[in-house]
Structures are given as structure tokens and as C-alpha cells.
Chains A and B, each alone.
Chain A
Amino acid sequence: MFDWILDYYNWRVTIQFAPEFARGITATMWISLLSLVLALIIGTGTAIMRMSANPLLWRMAAGYVQAIRSTPLLIQIYVIYFSIPALPLLDRRLDEFEGGIIALGLNAGAYMSEIIRAGIESITKGQVEGAQSVGMTYLQRMRYVVLPQAFANVLPPLLGQTAVLIKDSSLVSFIGVFELFGAGLTVLSERLMPNEAFMTVAVCYLVIYGIMLQVSNYAQRRLGGARA
């Protein structure tokens, strides 16, 4: 009865390759998580640099953001993966996993820095002045007053950017990282069954996206319809 479906989508193959897909999802999650952490660090640093009064600092930050925004991620991945081993300070070759995470982190960091900057700018001056008047140093003000509010304000767009990051992580399969899309490529090359390979991958990404959407909605509700 279901034979005609089997022609298009043979779920037995999918089940047979289930361990690959599971490993792929785990890897995608790890890559996304690690590059998210890296991106948040880079993004916050860049945002603070970008707002500094020192022209050298903010020009450097702005140049970095522009450079990332106007070149494709694929090229960034290639450049970082192939170029970092050429730097003298590393005596070993970066493996493709690390290279991929650095490239993704640098890429997402540039976009996130713009979001975080908007968040920091949304904090009223009175907050900073208040913190100054109780004797907080610059770092304390950032750590305890400005950044917590800034992040709360821009959490929804940050989560959106994270969803983009998860999708973008599919590109690191081209430097040989095994993740969700790589699992699809494995099925394609071993069985020549593109339907089973890529429809499954698409569904997996959709599920991840759906979860992200729910988290984002929840965050938005918790923050009372976020003002940012």
C-alpha cells in the first residue's frame, strides 16, 4: 500500500542511517553552541570597541564588521581554515572542527556586535550615571548595570541570529566537518539517495528551528514584550 511512498522516500534507509543523523545533529548542536559562545564574546568586545571614543579602536571594530558583512561565509571559512596554519604562532595545523568554529564565531560575532551595540545604546544615561555615582568602576558598570539590561533588551534578535548561526553551520561540512548536513552528504555518497538524505536533513533543521522559535517566543513573553 505504501509502495509508492517507498519509491520517493524509503524510510528504512533513513532508519539504517539514523546513527549518522543522530551524530550529525549532536555535532551541529556542539558546533553551534561553541561558536555561539565565541560569537557572544567577540560581539560584546566589538560592540564596546565600536562605541569607544578612541578612533583607532572604533575604526578597527567597524572595519571588522564591514569586512565580515560584505564577504560570504563560505569564503571566510576557507580563508580561516587554510590561512591560520600559515601563521607562525601556531606550530600545528588547526583541525577542521576548530577552524569551522572560529570562522562561524567570527562571522556571527560581527552580526551580533551590531545587535549588542543597539542593546547597549538602549540603556539610558541615567543608569550609567547612577552607577558612577555609587563609585563603580567602568568594568563594574558594564558587568553589573549596562550589559545585563542590554542583553535582556536584545534577546529576541540575538536568538534570531543564533537560528541563522545554526543554519550557517551547515557550511562547515565543506571543510570536512561531520555535522547534520555532512550526514546527508554521507547518505548521498553511499546510497545515491538524495531524497532520503536531504529531506531528512531538512526536517531535522526544521525541528531545531521550531524549538528556537518556541524559545524565542518564550523569552519575548518573559521579558514582557521586549522593548528593544
Chain B
Amino acid sequence: MTIQISFITIVCGSILGCVVGMLRTVGGRPVSMTLGIYIHALRGTPFLVHLYVVYFVLPSTGVAWLQLEAFPAAVIALSLYTSTYVAEIVRAAIQAVPGGQSEAARSTGMTGLQTMWHVVLPQAVKLMIPPMGGIYVIIIKGTSIVSVIGIAELVRAGEHATQRHPRELMVIYGMTALLYFAYCYPVLRLARWAETKFGSVRLPS
């Protein structure tokens, strides 16, 4: 369950984050300000609060499709949370590509979209990869929090186990921690590896 949630969230959050990040760089002032508020609002509040807002507050608006079950609520809250981090990474990476690159592309007659797709993004992606690993670890750890709205993921499973064997409390929580470690550590190593592989990428200036 933990793996399932984290996987869906990584995909949804990354896509949403890329869209937000790109819109923020190419859009005009009003667009980038609106998205800036979106990012700050989500970053300024704990994930726990997002989760409760999505799960408890949205249904009270009375809109039928906002009456979310626990699972979609968790995925939506986590994806929104992830998207803010991804958006900032994407924006930073796009801005790190020197302006001369896109100017040159435009002067050969490419449209804005073509410039983005063929020139800027391929270079920016290399810069995005290392920090993404860190974000994925944050997501995996974030899934532990969704246990509070009753989803049977790793922490929840641990809690059930403690009710059955109250004396083994330590062992059970220790095991849970170990399982998370086994899941996150390879991702962290992968991120480190990606950093050594792509970190030295020199952008043409």
C-alpha cells in the first residue's frame, strides 16, 4: 500500500509540478503570481493540514465529486504537496539554462513551444534529476502520515500489530522504521549517484 500510494503520487505530483513550474517561467506576471501564492500557501502549512483540509473540508462544499474517499484524498493531498516542490525544482532548472540558448533558438525561427521542447527542456532535465531523488524520499515518508485518515499503509499496519502484541511495541515500530529505511535508502543512494553522474553537467554559457 505504501509503495502503491507513493508511486501514484510521484507520477501525479511530478506531472502537476512540471506543469506549474513551466507555467511559472513562461507565463506572464499574473500567472506566475497566482502560482507563487499557490506554492507559498502549500509550503507554509504542514502536510497534515492539507490532508485534513482535503479529507474533511472539501466534502463540506457540497460538490458531489469532492466527497472523497480516504485513498483518493490521500493521493490528492500528497500530490499537491509534492507538486510545489517539483515546481520549484523545474523552475530553477529552466532558469539555469542560459538565456542565450532560447534566444538563439528563437532566432532560428522556432516557436516558443518548440524552443521549450527541443532546446531548453532537454538541458533543464539533467539539472532536475538529482534533486528529484530527495523529493521522492519526502513523498515516501509523507505516506506515513496518511495513516491518520485510516489508510492501511505501513504505519497503520504497525499500529494494528501493536494492538495485537502490545508488549512488542518497540520491535514493531523498529521493524516499521527498518522497512522505511529499506525503501528510502536505495532512493537516496540513487539520488547521490544521479548527482555524481549529472551534477557535473556543464551548461554551455
Residues in B with CB closer than 8 Å to A171 are 46, 48, 145
Quick check: is A206 within 8 A (CB to CB) of the other chain? yes
Residues of chain A from 157 to 212 with CB closer than 8 A to chain B in the complex: 163, 167-168, 170-171, 173-174, 181, 184, 188, 194-195, 197-199, 201-202, 205-206, 208-210
- Check A170–B49 contact: CB distance below 8 A: yes
Sorted nearest first, the 5 A-B pairs with minimum C-beta distance are A209-B44, A194-B56, A70-B184, A72-B144, A72-B141
* Nearest residue, chain A, Cβ from B170: A83
A188 in contact with B56 (CB, 8 Å): yes
Render A132-174 as a binary contact track against B, CB cut-off 8 A, 1 for contact.
Answer: 0000000000000000000000000000000100011011011
Which of B45, B60, B142 touches A8 (beta carbons < 8 Å)? B60
Judge whether B188 and A66 touch: CB under 8 Å. yes
Who on chain B is nearest to A201 by CB? Answer: B49
- Least Cβ–Cβ distance between A195 and chain B, in angstroms: 5
Complex contact B173–A78 (CB within 8 A):
yes
The DSSP consensus for interface residues of chain B is: helix
| Distance A79 CA – B144 CA, assembled complex (angstroms) | 14
Given contacts A170-B46, A205-B46, A209-B45, contact A199 B57 (CB under 8 A): yes
Most chain B beta-carbon neighbours within 10 Å: one of A70, A181, A184: A70
Contact residues on A (Cβ < 8 Å of other chain), bracket: 35 or more
Say yes or no for B197: interface residue by CB 8 A criterion: no
Q: Are B173 and A75 in contact (CB under 8 A)?
A: yes
B148 adjacent to chain A (CB < 8 Å): yes
Q: Is A73 an interface residue (CB 8 A)?
A: yes
Q: State how many angstroms separate the Cβ of B167 from the closest Cβ of chain A.
A: 11
Instruction: Say if the beta carbon of A15 comes within 8 Å of chain B.
Output: no
Are A206 and B188 in contact, with the CB atoms below 8 A?
no
B137 interfacial by beta-carbon distance below 8 Å? yes
A23 at the interface (CB under 8 A from B): no
A residues near B53, Cβ cutoff 8 Å? 198-199, 202
Residue of A nearest to B169 (CB): A82
Q: Is there an interface contact between A71 and B60, defined as CB atoms closer than 8 Å?
A: no
Chain B neighbourhood of A69, CB < 8 A: 137, 184, 188
Residues of B within 8 A of A8 (CB): 60-61
- Answer yes or no: B181 CB below 8 A from chain A CBs: yes
CA distance A82 to B177 in the complex (A): 13
Q: A79-B173, A79-B174 are in contact. List 19 more A-B contacts (CB 8 A).
A: A66-B188, A70-B188, A72-B144, A73-B141, A74-B145, A74-B147, A167-B44, A170-B46, A171-B48, A174-B148, A181-B46, A184-B52, A197-B52, A205-B44, A208-B44, A209-B44, A210-B44, A213-B40, A213-B44
